[in-house]
Amino acid sequence: MIGIRNVSQVYRTRAGDVEALREVSLDVADGEFVAIVGRSGCGKSSLLRLVAGLQTATSGEITVAGTPIRGPRQDIGFMFQRPALLPWRSVIDNVMLPLEVFKVDRRVARTRAHELLDLVGLNGFDKRLPHELSGGMQQRVSLCRALIQQPRVLLMDEPFSALDALTRADLTVELQRLQMKHASTVLFVTHSVDEAVLLADRVVVLSPRPGRLRQIVEVDVARPRSLGHDGHSAALGELRARLHDLLMTTEEVTR
Amino acid sequence: MSVTQAPPARRDTAGRDTVRRIGQWSQHLPPVLGLAAAVALWWAVTVVFEVESFILPSPLQVAQTLVEDADYLWDNTLVTLWETLLGFLLAIVVGVPLALVVTASRMLERTVYPLLLMLNAVPKVAVAPLLVVWMGFGQFPKVFLVFLVCFFPIVISTAAGLSSTQADLVELGRSLKMNWWQTFRMIRMPAAVPQLFVGLKLAITLAVIGAVIAEFVGATEGLGYVIVASGASADTALAFAAMILLGVLSVVLFYLTAAVERFFVPWADRS
């Protein structure tokens, strides 16, 4: 579904060129959930923005559903680190925004928005303004907005990183539930190993400066997963430890 | 258990209501106290120093004037109010589109801003007589002066609002392939409204001052004219009455603008 071929990204700054990504290649299958982890400065957000068409790679090619990325597309949904809700629009109008831009019939949009809000447990909040909601609820609305255009690919850029630990755990569970139900193709950037092992089919580890693909770790654990005392904690614990070591020993990678 | 718990709960909410009522009272108390203290001091000064009424009338004399000349003062208040509102609206109608134009192009911004700054630096008191020369003695030069005074803060604040849209909202627009017009209509314009109101609230207080300055020159009506005329006839109490009305007018217009803001942008100060 997503094909990333030898992608490099160099930012030109006043202090000289900064190499953010070097020769990264990755394939994401249809319905697969891939998490990208790495320390700050490993270019994981850059990679996601490249797939989203928000910026252009210095070299290499990215395709989604067989078509090269030339700019933002309707079949790609993007969820930001912050909710980025329009503060003057009600919850439902925020969720419907993409369909308004893509000129989808308003009634269809409304029905779909209500369904999504139901799905994330926000029915009854549709007429509220964003500032009346908690951070976790706002990010749920943001998720609905990313899903309403029914994207083939959902890109998530550290979507829960601005939330407190418990709300974050809540939303991770919720996202897992949605993923099990809809099996959408997701590329999920995070710096949280816990989120990665809970949600992903595969975890891609990037090493920093410049961002290179270090290793891909398969998470072969049945869903629903949990970090609590259930049957999977041992297997997940093992994977967490492995990822942790991979992330903490990046210095060993020769430049 | 629930039965024994119910009464304290009820007492609790009643207690909170009382607290809230006291809270509301204590909110209004400081301004009322401040005003009362100022009037008392004023009164004390006139009594203790036996000030002549044509130099400083006592609050009582001013109050009497307000009652006796109520019709005359009311008519002139309406004249000033009308000039103020017309000039203010004209400044919105011209200023907001100009802000749009200025923010649309960097070159236009650099062309227009120095001119605006110069225009704003000109003392409006100096312009008032010129306006009479150019536009005669009617209401139009007054409205125009109000317009001149309001124009600048409205343009500056609207332009600031339009060019300081939150980066993540702009990014959202980009990720949804919004074109220029969609980004403007759905994101940048509504995002600028709180800033616009900052300018409007500043402008409305200046507007009243502008109207009065204009009425000082070549006017036959309006509260500014009343102040000048009563000064000439040493009717200081009348001048004071007019000034008090101006103050009230200014405060009322300011809070009306703030109320309009709360109605249209209830989200403004919270996001």
pLDDT digits (tens, 9 = 90+) for B19-65: 666 667 777 888 889 989 999 999 999 999 888 888 889 999 999 99
CB-based contacts of B40: which residues, under 8 Å, 6+ apart? none
C-alpha distance from residue A223 to each of A173, A175, B43, B199 (Å): 11, 12, 81, 56
ipTM > 0.90 (yes/no): no
Chain centroid to CA A167: 17
**What's the total number of domains in chain A?**
1
Domain membership flag for residue A30: yes
Domain membership flag for residue A234: yes
Q: How many CB atoms are located within 10 Å of the residue A210 CB?
A: 20
CB of A70 within 8 Å of a chain B CB? The answer is no
Write out the residue range of the structural domain in which residue A195 sits: 1-75+154-161+185-255
CB contact under 8 A, B190 and A88: yes
pLDDT of residue A255 exceeding 50: no
Q: What is the CATH number of the domain that holds A226?
A: 3.40.50.300
pLDDT of residue A251 exceeding 70: no
Among partner residues A78, A86, A102, which is closest to B175 by beta-carbon distance? A78
Tokens linked to A24: 């990264």
Contacts of B266 in chain A (CB under 8 A): 129
Domain membership flag for residue A9: yes
pLDDT of residue A157 exceeding 50: yes
CB of A18 within 8 Å of a chain B CB? The answer is no
CA distance B270 to chain A (A): 6
A76, β-bridge pairs: A153
CB of B175 within 8 Å of a chain A CB? The answer is yes
Domain membership flag for residue A143: no
Contacts of A101 in chain B (CB under 8 A): 176-178, 182, 186
Contacts of A78 in chain B (CB under 8 A): 175
CB contact under 8 A, A72 and B168: no
Residue of A nearest to B170 (CA): A84
Which of A200, A194, A199 has the alpha carbon at shortest distance from A247? A194
CA distance A84 to chain B (A): 6
Contacts of B176 in chain A (CB under 8 A): 72, 97-98, 101-102
- The reported pLDDT for the residue numbered B2 is 42
CA distance A52 to chain B (A): 7
DSSP classification of residue A211? B
Domain membership flag for residue A83: no
- H or E element, residue A52: helix A44-52
pLDDT of residue B197 exceeding 90: yes
Contacts of A74 in chain B (CB under 8 A): 177
- The reported pLDDT for the residue numbered B3 is 42
CB contact under 8 A, B193 and A88: yes
Per-chain mean pLDDT for chain B: 87
CA distance B178 to B181: 8
- The stretch A83-98 carries a mean pLDDT of 94
CB contact under 8 A, A129 and B267: yes
- The reported pLDDT for the residue numbered A40 is 81
Domain membership flag for residue A7: yes
Q: Give the pLDDT band of residue A155 (cuts 50, 70, 90).
A: very high
Contacts of B191 in chain A (CB under 8 A): 86, 88
**pLDDT by residue (tens digit) across B153-176?**
999 999 999 988 999 999 999 999
CB of B132 within 8 Å of a chain A CB? The answer is no
pLDDT of residue A54 exceeding 50: yes
**pLDDT by residue (tens digit) across B53-97?**
888 899 999 999 999 999 999 999 999 999 999 999 999 999 999
Domain membership flag for residue A81: no
- The reported pLDDT for the residue numbered B4 is 41
Domain membership flag for residue A240: yes
Q: Hey, CA dihedral for A158, A159, A160, A163, is it positive or negative?
A: positive
pLDDT of residue A62 exceeding 70: yes
Q: Give the pLDDT band of residue A254 (cuts 50, 70, 90).
A: very low
- Burial code of B56-85, b = ≥16 C-beta within 10 A, e = fewer? bbbbebbbebbeebeeebeebbebbbebbb
pLDDT of residue B242 exceeding 90: yes
CB of B193 within 8 Å of a chain A CB? The answer is yes
CA distance B259 to chain A (A): 17
pLDDT of residue B212 exceeding 90: yes
CB of B174 within 8 Å of a chain A CB? The answer is yes
Per-chain mean pLDDT for chain A: 88
CA distance A149 to chain B (A): 10
CB contact under 8 A, A84 and B266: no
CA distance B45 to chain A (A): 51
- The reported pLDDT for the residue numbered B142 is 92
CB of A127 within 8 Å of a chain B CB? The answer is no
- The reported pLDDT for the residue numbered B148 is 92
Q: Which of these ranges, A31-35, A95-99, A221-225, B226-230, has the smallest mean pLDDT?
A: A221-225
CA distance A166 to chain B (A): 23
CB-based contacts of B269: which residues, under 8 Å, 6+ apart? B194
Contacts of A71 in chain B (CB under 8 A): 177
